[in-house]
Structure 1
């Protein structure tokens, strides 16, 4: 059964999936509790939370662009992946030691440097070792493993808080244990098959089809769009992202509706169950129905969710809406990455993912700051409506990007 399920996913992608699982296990022991830690323990307000998350994501974005350029220039993916995961694993648990919220900003900054260094080379590596026909499935698998770790992380945090009665600071420090396993696995099991741009043999061997070269190997298939399409795609993504602020605000909204710290952690875990299932299915479905209709549907769905968060008041309904929000990620996360890989030749793959990942993070800073300021000045209703309107504008723009011709699966 395992062979049947994973037959089109390379060992490298499986190893990266395990690394993502453990990374998110470590980070999600912290992330859902961080807004509460900042506001109740360190005395930070909504603007400070928006600043920390916005700066963190912008930092990651700048380094995603740089690492994307360097990975194409050097022809190597693995060194950036190894060092990126190592840096984040060292910095993240130290949040448990800080006494002032600006120090959280510093540690989040270092953590996000690691994320920036690894992300674009990792996404390009997945494309390098995956047949064009199964890229949606490969990215979906990787994102599903990421979300599986995000399910386990909050559950471990709740176990530590309620059963072992430890403090928030101790939970943050204990996140170092899975982080250490991340470094071990990425060093031992993540491989690359020669320089970027020469991955045809790698795809044939890693997909379990040694001696058989696919007619849709990376960089040689029918899926490449024009640079004009890539630029329009990027512009649409930036516009959408201006309305896609940090999910910390959703958690804060739930807390204001009466959900306590333990409830937020449990909801965050349940939310990632929805994300895990939806990304696993969404990537595979996009290999058959196409990327464009999936992304447009996902962005419209996102706008509806944000509008509901603006106007709903009942705690139970808000909880349901928050869980349904997880479906959006299955409609977009693996699909957008597979679409990026089809819009550029392989020699530009690292840079394309650098621009994609980088643009999202850079736009996240004004997105989070705008959201936080609107919430603080006029209320959460206006903030969520603004996010929904940006999403709808993004849909209009991305409709002009030509859909790549799909290979037969």
Structure 2
């Protein structure tokens, strides 16, 4: 199968327009609705989980970092298996549905585990396995349903809808905790019910995608996908043959190794500002709101000027998060720290998450899209696993400020490496074969 760099739409769902004649495929909107509902479910749990584990069960920062990082990294390998299964036979929707269902069922696991560490670990593992299975097939459906010149906009729209759920989830958790006097079980039950609704939406409204059997451009000799090399269907690791993909993967992993997890950022904010425990679930709202507002504009800008620079500049926003957490507060009011950190964190995700997928998608063959994206996401997840464990260890041994200084220094070095590694070649439209 040759590189499909012509516009690829899902014929089963007509595209819709969004202002000024901009067209967003219906599959993208349907997947956005599924992600919106699913993120309400997952963020209800995510918003209270650090509080529940660190303050409720008494885990140390090192233990929490190890637990969080281990599951993020170990279950990334499941992502590769899910992507291979999705590419083999074009079963992207079916594999994604299995992942969504596993994540929904993991909420019941948290409920049944009570305070048992082994039960909580098993429930978290199930959730991460589900997320690992579904992410690459979902992003492959977005890529295969969108023209390459508009991938940034498609991913921006999807991520904006996804982030709407991330915005509503902590609000629901906060309301439930307030109404039930801090009963975490109520959060887990409601989260499970909402997760099942997301699975139902996927089954009813997201069509499966099969690449159209249209004529492909004539192959040209060369070592990379961009020059028309043929590939066997469903070979997950075939993307590693492309030097452009390898450079993107290396840059993403390098920058991921300097990315402190959101949970640590929120724990640092709670510690610096001495926020009441009941307000902790609301901390993700600021970042989610900034992400929601900026995701679509960031995607459109990336389509217009290229996706390399927005991805790199987004990491400067993360650098700002680290720096802001190190600034002495003195007697300054809490919003002077809270608002900049949350806005910068949302900016970071808006300019990197979907933009990276849009940068990589046109490099991949139609029959290996899920596999290539899974390799990229796995590289990032393994790097973030090391970052989470390392930051938790430094915090435990040296304290939070030295750990932050180490993260800031590492991110500066990673930005230099990312700048050198990321290819300057324009993406999709300009790289079309003749």
Task: Pick the TM interval, shorter chain.
Answer: 0.7 to 0.9
Distance, in Å, in 1 between the alignment partners of 2:41 and 2:213 is 32
Once the two structures are TM-superposed, the CA of residue 123 in structure 1 deviates from its matched residue by 0.8
Which of 324, 337, 346 pairs up with 1:318?
Answer: 337
Partner of 1:176: 192
Q: TM-score, normalised by structure 1?
A: 0.88
Partner Cα distance (1:270, 1:75) in 2: 38
Out of 138, 152, 164, the position equivalent to 1:148 is: 164
- Quick one: distance in 2 between partners of 1:99 and 1:67? 31
**Paired residues of 2:152 and 2:300 also in contact (CA < 8 A):** yes
CA distance in 2, matches of 1:248, 1:38: 11
Q: Which residue of 2 aligns with 1:211?
A: none
- Give unmatched runs, 5+ long, in structure 1: 202-218
Q: Are 1:357 and 2:377 matched, yes or no?
A: yes
Deviations 1:71-104, CA, capped at 9 Å, x for gaps: 2233321111111101111113431332123322
Checking the alignment, whether the CA contact within 8 Å between 2:39 and 2:163 is kept in structure 1 is yes
1:120 — aligned with what?
Answer: 136
Retained in 2: the 8 A contact 1:282–1:334?
A: no
Which structure 2 residues correspond to residues 125-204 of structure 1 after superposition, within 5 A? 125-165=141-181, 167-194=183-210, 196=211, 198=212
Match of 2:118 among 99, 102, 117: 102
Residue 352 (structure 2) aligns with: 332
* d(CA) in 2 for partners of 1:290, 1:351: 23
Q: Show the counterpart of 2:426.
A: 405
Task: Name the TM-score, length of structure 2 as normaliser.
Answer: 0.83
**1:236 and 1:145 mapped to 2: Cα distance?**
27
Per the alignment, residue 41 of structure 2 pairs with 26
Does residue 1:233 correspond to 2:248, yes or no?
A: yes
How many residues align structurally?
A: 387
Whether the aligned pair in 1 keeps the contact of 2:47 and 2:282 (CA below 8 Å) is no
Compute the displacement of 1:120 (Å). 0.8
RMSD: 2.4
- Whether contact under 8 Å (1:62, 1:362) holds in the other structure is no
**C-alpha distance in structure 2 between counterparts of 1:136 and 1:22, whole Å:** 22
Q: Quote the Cα distance in structure 1 between the aligned partners of 2:213 and 2:26.
A: 14
Check 1:42–1:243 CA distance in 2 against 1; reply closer, same or farther (3 A cut).
same
CA distance in 2, matches of 1:360, 1:45: 25
Q: 1:84 pairs with 86, 99, 111, which one?
A: 99
1:391 CA displacement: 2.4
CA deviation digits over 1:189-238, x for unaligned, max 9? 111232x4x3779xxxxxxxxxxxxxxxxx9999x999212112111111
SS at match of 1:365: helix
Map of 1:51 onto structure 2: 66
Q: Structure 2: how far apart are the matches of 1:278 and 1:153?
A: 19
C-alpha distance in 2 between matches for 1:291 and 1:390? 23
